[in-house]
Structure 1
Amino acid sequence: MHRRIFGVETEYGLTCASTTGGVPPLEPEEAARILFEPLVKRGRSTNVFLPNGGRLYLDVGAHPEYATAECSDVWDLLAQVRAGSDMLSQMAREADQDLDERGIKGQIHLFANNMDSVGNSFGCHENYLLRRSRDFREMADALISFFVTRQIIAGAGAIVTSDDGEVSYAFSARADQMHDALSGATTRARPIINTRDEPLADSTSYRRLHVIVGDTNVAEPTTALKVASTDLVLHALETGSNFADLVLAEPLEAIRQISLDLTGEAKVALADGRLMTAVEIQREIRTRALASLRGESVSDLYAYLFDLWGRALDAVESRDWAGISTEIDYAIKMNLVHSYRERTGATLDDPRVARLLLAYHDITDAGLAPRMEASGAMLRLTSSAQVEQAVEQAPATTRATLRGAAVKAAETHRRDLGVDWVNLRLDGTGMMIALQDPFATEDERVGELISKMARD
């Protein structure tokens, strides 16, 4: 497989809960302002690029968002995702201390999930670099079937309520929020794939696949599988594999039907009139994608993830979740809910169950995930050392290392540096650098920029 660049953008739910019970002492907007106040006080803003190459900002609706740096290795991506959560968790600790000093009896909670208590949806977007070697629309049409069915291997799990009031457990927290298969919009239409041509790189060579449909995952193996399986399917498409016979007739109907079908037996209609289950579609995609490797070896991590892909499909087909019970979010949460209900007699719509699932997604000190990892109930792939490095340093194999070095130098020398995913602009000098090659890790112009910061 050729090297590909990918990244993940995660929006977080935010609330300030009362520490004495009762009504939250702050609205989300005010809590978000306090959370980001340290960044603003340092003369910056609520939208910053970091020395690790990533971006931290406050999105519409008082949602903190962290976008990883460009990664070409899944290990880097996992460390970057976790680094973002760790940074925001530290910001929450500092905000809680601030609240205490102000006499406000509240605690900030940040949730790596996809829905708040009143039904507002927010996302986890994936980005994959594509070379302009074939028709994007043709590729996107082929990918829809993969993304619609991918929830059975990478869904976060959710408790959902139907229009008639029936409460059930589903594979995906995101499936019901999709409004279109392909669209250039992200919020109004909320498509599975965003088709806006914004490569954030040399537009003559690259374009960016912007995926809206994925759940926000907590378990590291699920995040890794979500990205690695997509990477392999893209490789298969780019090397000539054909998935046209697996195109769905009604993708939006299928995504909702599949999410609610934990048996894996529901058949969805294909464009050619055949009926297949999500497991059958995923197995066929996986088989063809693996065949596209043509015997090429893959890393140990990818070998593990491709095996996990198969085991997840086996689990759905057999309805025996034991084989993935510490690796795939929906199975981990299923066990958590089952154990809690057995202990307490709670029903699925019990508010205590809802609070339990919020705790699963809480990235602050109140969250369950670190304790579950420590107990073996959730498998962790990264080490603390990897994540600590990712907080401070950008991935060394993409242009993020250039951006990160420039941002760090600007902080050290107290210079105003305008930054976006492509451009660096040193205020007051007229110096502007466009980093059009996302694979470039060396650039004399960046060295000159850093030297100028140090001199002037």
Structure 2
Amino acid sequence: MSVRRVMGIETELGITSTQVDARGELLTPMLLSGQVVRAYAAGAGPRAAMPTGSGWDYADETPLRDARGYEMARALADVSQLTDVEDPTVANSVLSNGARFYVDHAHPEYSSPEVTSPREAVRYDRAGELVGLAALRTLAQEGREVRLYKNNVDGKGASYGTHENYLVPRSIPFERLARQLIPFLVARPVIAGAGRVGLGQVSERPGFQLSQRADYLEAEVGLETTLRRPIVNTRDEPHATPHVHRRLHVIVGDATMADVTTLLAVGSLSAVLRLVETHPDGVPDVALADPVQAVRQVSHDPTLRATVETVDGRRLTGVDVLETYLEAVERAVASGHDAWRPDDDTTEVLTRWRQVLDALRRDPAECAGQVEWVAKLSLLERYRERSGAGWGDPRLAAMDIQWHDLDPQRGLAQKLRAAGRLERLMPEGAVAAAVTEPPEDTRAWFRGECVRRYGDDVRAASWDSVVMLDERGRLRRVQVPEPTAATRERISGLLERHTRTATLLTELASEDV
């Protein structure tokens, strides 16, 4: 067990283009995003992606259900919260790797398939970059230039999300879960931030900070994701057997281009979640006096000397908070509890976490190959030394955006990665394979293989279902509520026996997936 659990990452990509419509006006982000999703589906082929006219199965979506025990009235919800409404004009595709690629809030969003380890989370997150690049190549062949950015801010006040998802037991009281996670999430940008030029939501003050999302967090706990953004999101939409599982939907993180940073982001949080689940009395008591203000205090100080105040009057740096959590996790591992049996994933995450914290205390520059905000800051500081540019110089803001460009010819992070200055955890071949091949140890394998094997006979899907045509041409919904069911090991023989969904459904009528 340990840091291994069902998890995944959703990334809304920034998008720009100089394309204009018949009136000479720039195309809207919604139209551009639709072009990107459709281009990937068209270029990848019918066995790699469902046609973008296919549906998403919204039957089990509950975006207004709150983990605190109630459901928001639809009349009171912001339109951005109504993510359970079918819009036939919005491009949507499910891919053969089990991911979803679609238009969300005027952005192309790549939602990775469910995986069970931090390393696999890195691999399938990186695969999303290749999906975006493939779409751009298809558009370029048609004479349409579009640029995609794996970031979270446009520098003019807009922020778009990179959301993480973790399966946790329903038995853990949500109030305790939130309370024990908040200090960790406040401090996590120290090891998991992507870095940002500008302070404030519209970059109204010059400077550099650790996190792209920090200035957009306005509440401790809440249901919203696009307004009044909270540190802990309360959406109770498990995409799993509801009385057994809860899906922790984390909206505070940054989109990251550095493999080690992504590993630390998901691996450290998964470790803390395991601590909350198995050693609740061992979770550090570092309740913060003002968590929302603390998010900014930590993010706004790349020297890592800024302190935040705890309820009991202590002053701690972000590094101090993270080390307190890491020490608690290390004690839990040493306890010999069954949930903390040694495994390679846990060893890698805790070793990396310890090495990075120790290096940050000595000199943050030592982490330039692992921690993204440090790498970005190092690059910008070298430019500042050569050019004499202040933090308010628009050239630095442009470099910040360019850092996240997915095009390897333009993207600064891509160039550092290619030069070996950003450490790679995943061979490029393994990332490329993840574009079309689903994880073998979650239900994403069934979803992705249905797309690959059955093509147009698959008419819709969701995280916990696949909708297919039966022998009479009727739509049949196959539910897979358990994320670790329908794996390759369990059902490869079943799919091998059937070349058509009609016969598959006939057998499934008497068996569970």
TM over 0.5: yes
CA contact (8 A) 1:409 1:453 kept: no
1:136 deviation in Å?
1.8
Aligned to 2:483, which of 430, 438, 443? 438
Rounded Cα–Cα distance in structure 2 between residues aligned with 1:383 and 1:58:
29
Q: Map of 1:89-168 to 2, 5 A cutoff?
A: 89-99=133-143, 107-162=145-200, 165-168=204-207
Residue by residue, what CA displacement relative to the aligned partner does 1:196-255 show, whole Å, maximum 9, x if unpaired?
211101011111111010111110100011011011111111112433621112110110
Cα 1:126/1:449, change in 2 over 3 Å? farther
Letter in 1 for 2:99: G
Cα 1:24/1:92, change in 2 over 3 Å? farther
Q: Does 1:418 align with 2:460?
A: yes
Letter in 2 for 1:123: G
Rounded Cα–Cα distance in structure 1 between residues aligned with 2:35 and 2:308:
47
Structure 1 residues not aligned, in runs of 5+: 101-106
Aligned to 1:50, which of 88, 92, 95? 95
1:164 deviation in Å?
10
Aligned to 1:76, which of 116, 120, 124? 120
Deviates more, 1:376-385 or 1:143-152: 376-385
Residue by residue, what CA displacement relative to the aligned partner does 1:282-312 show, whole Å, maximum 9, x if unpaired?
1111100121112556444543432332233
Identity %: 35
Rounded Cα–Cα distance in structure 1 between residues aligned with 2:52 and 2:247:
29
2:72 — aligned with what?
Answer: none
CA contact (8 A) 1:229 1:306 kept: yes
Cα 1:85/1:40, change in 2 over 3 Å? closer
1:279 — aligned with what?
Answer: 319
1:99 deviation in Å?
2.5
TM-score, structure 2 as length reference = 0.80
Q: Secondary structure at the match of 1:9?
A: strand
Aligned to 1:290, which of 320, 330, 354? 330
Q: Secondary structure at the match of 1:179?
A: strand
Rounded Cα–Cα distance in structure 2 between residues aligned with 1:247 and 1:450:
55
Letter in 1 for 2:358: D
Aligned to 1:240, which of 279, 284, 287? 279
Letter in 1 for 2:217: M
TM-score, structure 1 as length reference = 0.90
Rounded Cα–Cα distance in structure 1 between residues aligned with 2:399 and 2:331:
41
Aligned to 1:177, which of 216, 219, 234? 216
Cα 1:165/1:374, change in 2 over 3 Å? closer
CA contact (8 A) 1:35 1:95 kept: yes
Rounded Cα–Cα distance in structure 2 between residues aligned with 1:128 and 1:368:
30
CA contact (8 A) 2:97 2:437 kept: yes
Rounded Cα–Cα distance in structure 2 between residues aligned with 1:259 and 1:317:
16
2:508 — aligned with what?
Answer: none
1:317 — aligned with what?
Answer: 361
Q: Secondary structure at the match of 1:66?
A: strand
Q: Does 1:263 align with 2:297?
A: no
2:75 — aligned with what?
Answer: none
Cα 1:63/1:220, change in 2 over 3 Å? same
Q: Map of 1:319-398 to 2, 5 A cutoff?
A: 320-365=363-408, 366-398=410-442
Q: Secondary structure at the match of 1:118?
A: coil
2:228 — aligned with what?
Answer: 189
Aligned to 2:264, which of 225, 233, 247? 225
RMSD, aligned α-carbons:
2.5
1:363 deviation in Å?
0.9
Aligned residue pairs total 442
1:454 deviation in Å?
6.9
1:423 deviation in Å?
1.1
Residue by residue, what CA displacement relative to the aligned partner does 1:115-163 show, whole Å, maximum 9, x if unpaired?
1142210011000000123212101110011000111111111112359
Rounded Cα–Cα distance in structure 1 between residues aligned with 2:423 and 2:104:
31
Q: Secondary structure at the match of 2:225?
A: coil
Cα 1:91/1:270, change in 2 over 3 Å? same
Q: Secondary structure at the match of 2:198?
A: strand
Letter in 2 for 1:275: R
Deviates more, 1:67-76 or 1:6-15: 67-76
Q: Secondary structure at the match of 2:142?
A: helix
2:62 — aligned with what?
Answer: none
Cα 1:450/1:176, change in 2 over 3 Å? farther
Q: Secondary structure at the match of 2:453?
A: helix
Cα 1:260/1:108, change in 2 over 3 Å? same
Residue by residue, what CA displacement relative to the aligned partner does 1:168-223 show, whole Å, maximum 9, x if unpaired?
11111110011211112222221122112111010111111110101111101000
Q: Does 1:8 align with 2:9?
A: yes
Rounded Cα–Cα distance in structure 1 between residues aligned with 2:27 and 2:429:
35
Rounded Cα–Cα distance in structure 2 between residues aligned with 1:190 and 1:347:
31
CA contact (8 A) 1:406 1:446 kept: no
Rounded Cα–Cα distance in structure 1 between residues aligned with 2:36 and 2:497:
32
Q: Secondary structure at the match of 1:14?
A: strand
Letter in 2 for 1:150: R
Letter in 2 for 1:327: Q
Cα 1:7/1:37, change in 2 over 3 Å? closer
CA contact (8 A) 1:425 1:433 kept: yes
2:293 — aligned with what?
Answer: 253
Cα 1:446/1:274, change in 2 over 3 Å? farther
Letter in 1 for 2:163: H
1:26 deviation in Å?
4.2
Rounded Cα–Cα distance in structure 2 between residues aligned with 1:370 and 1:90:
15
Cα 1:275/1:117, change in 2 over 3 Å? closer
Structure 2 residues not aligned, in runs of 5+: 54-90, 505-513
